[in-house]
Amino acid sequence: LSEIRAPSSRGAGSLSSSTLERLKGFVCPSEPQGRGPPGPGNAGGGSEDADGGLEDAGVSVTSAPCGISKSGYTPLEQQYLQIKEQHKDALLAVECGYKYRFFGEDAEKAAKQLNIFCHLDHNFMTCSIPTHRLFVHVRRLVSQGYKVGVVKQTETSAIKASGANKNTLFTRQLSALYTKSTLVGEDVNPVHSLVDVEEGECDDVVTDPPESYLLCLSETWDKPRKQLTIGLVAVQPSTGDVLLDCFVDGSTRCELEGRVLKVNPVEILVPSDLSDSSHRLLQSIVTASVQAGDGVRIEKRESAQFDFASAMNTVTEFYCHTQDSGSRPLSGIASLESPVVCCLGPLIHYLTEFNLQRVLLSFRHLSCESDGMVLSAPTLRNLEILTNQTDGGTKGSLLWVLDHTHTSFGRRLMRKWVSQPLKDAQSICERQGAVCEILESDSVTLPSVRALLFRLPDLERGVCSIYHKKCSTQEFYLISSSLSRLGVELQALLPSIQSQLSSSLLRGLLLDTPELLAPAHNFLKVLNEKAAKSGDKRELFCDLSGFPVLQERRVEIQSVLTEIQDHRREVRYTLRTPTLDYVRVSGQEFLIEVKNSMVSVVPSDWVKISSTKAVSRYQSPYLIGRCRSLSQLREQLLIDSQKEWTNFLHQFGEYYHTMKKAVGNLATVDCLFSLAEVAKQRNYYRQIVIRDGRHPVIDLLMGEHTQYVPNNTELQGDGRRTLIITGPNMGGKSSYIRQVALVSIMAQVGSYVPATEARLGILDGIYTRMGASDSIYKGRSTFMEELTEASEIVTRATERSLVILDELGRGTSTHDGIAIAYATLEYFIRDVKSLTLFVTHYPPLCELEKVYPLHVGNFHMAFLLNEPDIGSKLSPGQSVQPEFITFLYQLTEGAAGQSYGLNVARLAEIPEAVLHIAARKAQELKNIVDARRYTYKDTHCPKQWETLSAEQSND
């Protein structure tokens, strides 16, 4: 049966026979039409002949000469225009035989992006790519932000040739659309090709980002209350994750920004009448993402779709009429907030265009802010939780420190853990308990479990692509065999897990999983491994008892083959060569080869198919007829097999939720192992009292030769809850306060922390204001940005929050700056009552310790001063040297009077001349202030900033 097997689309290095055949048809259009039998039927069909024939041989719908209709377009062009009319915003790749073609503007854009040749053909510019490279090019276009439509032939050549419409154009339909978040399916994720990618064979393939969320936003204005509510739904069509959220946001869209940063979408769906502020925010995110190398795609949809009534209609329709096991009952929908419904409606419409709407059927996982610790957008950015601020990459971020996962799904979960630390003490303790057991247990069970997680394919995406019924046979085989193997191996470990593990979290995760995975085996055993791996759908099932249609088709094919073999006897008789057998040339089967010297014996009604100098090849009319039937039957078998395959995938989809749960369990286990790895490698301890705390990232980056100086921290909600930290520039102030925040986050993720001891209360949020940056794009200057952020913190922080303010008020004149910093800090101490770390270079603020002695403490970063010898009176021309400072990086009680900025100026290699003048100026100013202080004292003036600062600096 070797000739029945479909040619592999990749054919290691060589072209498959069918491709050769089609190529032949293409380069030799002058070969007499209709002389030979229909080409070998196979998937996709050799349509180039037919279409080419239509265009070139003058067969056209309107019978105008040269295949050009009255409108001036060729039939193929007309067909393209019709499809394009319905999908104006997509670049269409149109299947034409063995290649995909682009037309018109699409062709020009594609040619530019793909770096391929584009030329004028009839009415349109056109360019083309070979079929087997479709995924490479679609991915590349999609990564550039395009929506790409793949238009496929929906007829196959042999069956078409036997029908009434044999002289018309091949019918074509849009088979799939792709954008950044919707790259699901075998066209764009052919597993066998991605293996090549890993082996470095295709280095031009754009690989999947780890996450590809599609985010949809709706805005609802409450006019009387002047309040904006934002609804948000984020879907990851490739993994089936759905997040819903609804929140009130201010004009800065700070809340929205935080969520967008966390979700990190690749595509955003918004109403066409989105508010200016939101639009500006999204635009800034797009700009930043383009800089980081991967632009976010924004799709504007008709605003009417976002209206509550219309969205509700879509939503109820969708959930009423779609049957799916495990889908969300309608009552669940009724409880959704209306802004969320306003997003869900347009999302259903959108995903339906991609045929990916099924993921929306079943969202169980609702993430609400109240579930976890709040990390505001500035906190995520400033503390470099998920990405660094240098190049937007992961290196140097907290995620980078904590992520030692081995699976793609584990990595995705770890990102969620880090961006959304827990708030519930029990869950935190469970995670820590699990990590502790992994670290301390010496049983062999846990290492065996861990070994199972190595080298796994992306099961989460795989299971979901099966659920969408879009996966290839190769992917299915890979995924189901991995699932089944995991099930079996975990099952074998069950007894030791039962007897040896004590962490309730680990036990729960591991004991459940084998049973959840069990169904995978039943699907795997029906498959013919070889066919599945080569993508041959006709031979896919090894046991046909469950597939009567396929069985029947096989019998029919076998009987035609027998007829053809029987016919051989007649041929032998006719040609008087008793040993004659059919030959196969260039993919064409059942040819009768006759030496040219013998052609006189050949009956006149035989059709000559091809010839060489020595031989001619014929087919008898009977043979032509049988071969035609055979091709038709084979095409039919492929169509039937495709149907059964889809059915098969559908059946697997019934277990989608079970499999997803199992994969989720494995992801959690992977994350726990990862945290244990961190604890082991970095000497972390378990347990806001922090003894010998270190900054996790700097500590890791410092390497062997330098040591991070650990510091202690003690903050008490009802006692000393505010630390005012002063000290020299470069003294380690910012590093210290970041360290406190990071340690708290790590603890609430469930991780061990870089400290010898830590007793931490549970924080409901961390708010930070640090660094100078402006947001020109948001229409805010540096100082405006500073105060907007501060104001957000004032409104959001609670008694249970940690607030970190680094040099608030430095963006304006000294007087205003000090005034604002003083007032704000006092407000935090007295009214918000949050745990607060305040870094400042304004000594007057240290006064607050005297005002609130119970709640405020002054600290500074210790240093050694090597003061130059300068008299208080300067004689003109006298040279002044700035002080030399040695940093000790040790948090010490008491305020520091000076910032020794000139020392840093020297470290930064400011020219000597400038340094001297600056040092001189500093000395002069100091003298003036000193002099004024005496005057104020003499006249009993009330305390002024100048006096305060003079006093401080003299301390």
Residues written for the chain: 955
Distance (Å, rounded) from C-alpha 421 to C-alpha 441? 26
Residue, CB closest to ligand ATP: 732
Please answer whether residues 794 and 815 qualify as being in contact, where contact means their C-beta atoms are separated by less than 8 angstroms.
Answer: no
State which of residues 148, 422, 730, 747 lies at the interface with ligand ATP (CB under 6 A): 730
Please answer whether residues 54 and 122 qualify as being in contact, where contact means their C-beta atoms are separated by less than 8 angstroms.
Answer: no
Identify which of residues 367 and 949 has a Cβ nearer to ligand ATP in the complex: 949
Please answer whether residues 744 and 859 qualify as being in contact, where contact means their C-beta atoms are separated by less than 8 angstroms.
Answer: no
The answer to whether 906 contacts ligand ATP (rule: CB under 6 A) is no
Identify which of residues 42 and 735 has a Cβ nearer to ligand ATP in the complex: 735
Distance (Å, rounded) from C-alpha 724 to C-alpha 857? 6
The answer to whether 684 contacts ligand ATP (rule: CB under 6 A) is no
Size of the site for ligand ATP (CB under 6 A): 12
State which of residues 729, 751, 836, 898 lies at the interface with ligand ATP (CB under 6 A): 729
The answer to whether 734 contacts Mg ion (rule: CB under 5 A) is yes
Candidate ranges 181-189, 561-569, 729-737, 784-792; the one touching Mg ion (CB under 5 A): 729-737
State which of residues 218, 620, 735, 898 lies at the interface with ligand ATP (CB under 6 A): 735
Amino acid letter, residue 457: P
Identify which of residues 218 and 735 has a Cβ nearer to ligand ATP in the complex: 735
CB of residue 786 vs Mg ion: minimum separation in angstroms? 14
The answer to whether 157 contacts Mg ion (rule: CB under 5 A) is no
> How many CA atoms lie less than 13 Å away from 349 in the CB half-sphere?
22
Distance (Å, rounded) from C-alpha 218 to C-alpha 243? 14
Q: In this structure, are strands 856-866 and 722-726 parallel, antiparallel, or unpaired?
A: parallel
Distance (Å, rounded) from C-alpha 512 to C-alpha 613? 71
Identify which of residues 648 and 842 has a Cβ nearer to ligand ATP in the complex: 842
The answer to whether 314 contacts Mg ion (rule: CB under 5 A) is no
Identify which of residues 195 and 698 has a Cβ nearer to ligand ATP in the complex: 698
CB of residue 803 vs ligand ATP: minimum separation in angstroms? 17
State which of residues 400, 655, 889, 900 lies at the interface with ligand ATP (CB under 6 A): 889
Q: Which does 409 bind (CB under 5 to 8 A by kind): ligand ATP, Mg ion, none?
A: none
Of the candidates 897, 891, 903, the residue with the CA atom closest to the CA atom of residue 954: 897
The answer to whether 713 contacts ligand ATP (rule: CB under 6 A) is no
Candidate ranges 25-33, 269-277, 422-430, 724-732; the one touching ligand ATP (CB under 6 A): 724-732
CB of residue 701 vs ligand ATP: minimum separation in angstroms? 9
The answer to whether 379 contacts ligand ATP (rule: CB under 6 A) is no
Identify which of residues 777 and 783 has a Cβ nearer to ligand ATP in the complex: 783
Q: Which does 821 bind (CB under 5 to 8 A by kind): Mg ion, ligand ATP, none?
A: none
CB of residue 861 vs ligand ATP: minimum separation in angstroms? 6
Q: In this structure, are strands 689-693 and 757-759 parallel, antiparallel, or unpaired?
A: antiparallel
Q: Which does 731 bind (CB under 5 to 8 A by kind): ligand ATP, Mg ion, none?
A: ligand ATP
Distance (Å, rounded) from C-alpha 862 to C-alpha 623? 97
The answer to whether 768 contacts Mg ion (rule: CB under 5 A) is no
Identify which of residues 100 and 736 has a Cβ nearer to Mg ion in the complex: 736
The answer to whether 585 contacts ligand ATP (rule: CB under 6 A) is no
What is the Cα 486 distance to its own chain's centre?
Answer: 25
Distance (Å, rounded) from C-alpha 868 to C-alpha 226? 60
CB of residue 360 vs Mg ion: minimum separation in angstroms? 46
Distance (Å, rounded) from C-alpha 953 to C-alpha 896? 8
The answer to whether 473 contacts ligand ATP (rule: CB under 6 A) is no
Amino acid letter, residue 415: R
Distance (Å, rounded) from C-alpha 764 to C-alpha 743? 14
Identify which of residues 177 and 805 has a Cβ nearer to Mg ion in the complex: 805
> How many CA atoms lie less than 13 Å away from 433 in the CB half-sphere?
13
**Torsion angle in degrees (nearest 10) through CA of 602, 605, 611, 616:** -10
Sheet holding 583-585, edge to edge: 583-585, 588-595, 615-619, 607-611
The answer to whether 732 contacts ligand ATP (rule: CB under 6 A) is yes
Q: In this structure, are strands 124-130 and 147-153 parallel, antiparallel, or unpaired?
A: unpaired
CB of residue 702 vs ligand ATP: minimum separation in angstroms? 7
State which of residues 372, 731, 809, 844 lies at the interface with ligand ATP (CB under 6 A): 731
The answer to whether 708 contacts ligand ATP (rule: CB under 6 A) is yes
814 torsion bin: left (phi>0), alpha (psi -120 to 50), beta (else): alpha
Distance (Å, rounded) from C-alpha 89 to C-alpha 110? 14
Identify which of residues 427 and 890 has a Cβ nearer to ligand ATP in the complex: 890
The answer to whether 840 contacts Mg ion (rule: CB under 5 A) is no
Site for ligand ATP in 834-873 (CB under 6 A): 861
CB of residue 769 vs Mg ion: minimum separation in angstroms? 12
Candidate ranges 112-120, 132-140, 165-173, 731-739; the one touching ligand ATP (CB under 6 A): 731-739
CB of residue 802 vs Mg ion: minimum separation in angstroms? 18
The answer to whether 709 contacts ligand ATP (rule: CB under 6 A) is yes
927, containing H or E segment: helix 912-938
Sheet holding 711-714, edge to edge: 711-714, 689-693, 757-759
The answer to whether 472 contacts ligand ATP (rule: CB under 6 A) is no
Amino acid letter, residue 162: S
192 torsion bin: left (phi>0), alpha (psi -120 to 50), beta (else): alpha
Identify which of residues 272 and 707 has a Cβ nearer to ligand ATP in the complex: 707
State which of residues 445, 734, 858, 898 lies at the interface with ligand ATP (CB under 6 A): 734
With vertex at residue 545, the alpha carbon angle to CA 539 and CA 546, rounded to the nearest 5 degrees, is 90
Q: Which does 730 bind (CB under 5 to 8 A by kind): ligand ATP, Mg ion, none?
A: ligand ATP
Question: Residue 437, class by beta-carbon neighbours within 10 Å (0-12 exposed, 13-18 middle, 19+ buried)?
Answer: buried
Identify which of residues 372 and 396 has a Cβ nearer to ligand ATP in the complex: 396
The answer to whether 769 contacts ligand ATP (rule: CB under 6 A) is no
CB of residue 735 vs Mg ion: minimum separation in angstroms? 8
H runs (alpha helix) in 729-781: 733-749
**What one-character-per-residue DSSP string does 832-861 give?**
I--EEEEE-S-GGGGGHHHHSTTTEEEEEE
The answer to whether 60 contacts Mg ion (rule: CB under 5 A) is no
What is the Cα 314 distance to its own chain's centre?
Answer: 27
Q: Which does 679 bind (CB under 5 to 8 A by kind): ligand ATP, Mg ion, none?
A: none
CB of residue 269 vs Mg ion: minimum separation in angstroms? 40
CB of residue 806 vs Mg ion: minimum separation in angstroms? 6
Distance (Å, rounded) from C-alpha 490 to C-alpha 200? 32
CB of residue 399 vs Mg ion: minimum separation in angstroms? 23
Residue, CB closest to Mg ion: 734
The answer to whether 94 contacts ligand ATP (rule: CB under 6 A) is no
Please answer whether residues 808 and 840 qualify as being in contact, where contact means their C-beta atoms are separated by less than 8 angstroms.
Answer: yes
Identify which of residues 674 and 898 has a Cβ nearer to ligand ATP in the complex: 898
Backbone CA torsion sign across 610, 611, 615, 618: positive
Cα 699 to Cα 435, 678, 754, distances in angstroms? 21, 13, 9
Distance (Å, rounded) from C-alpha 78 to C-alpha 87? 14
The answer to whether 479 contacts ligand ATP (rule: CB under 6 A) is no
Binding site for Mg ion (CB under 5 A): 734
Q: Which residues bind ligand ATP (CB under 6 A)?
A: 698, 708-709, 729-735, 861, 889
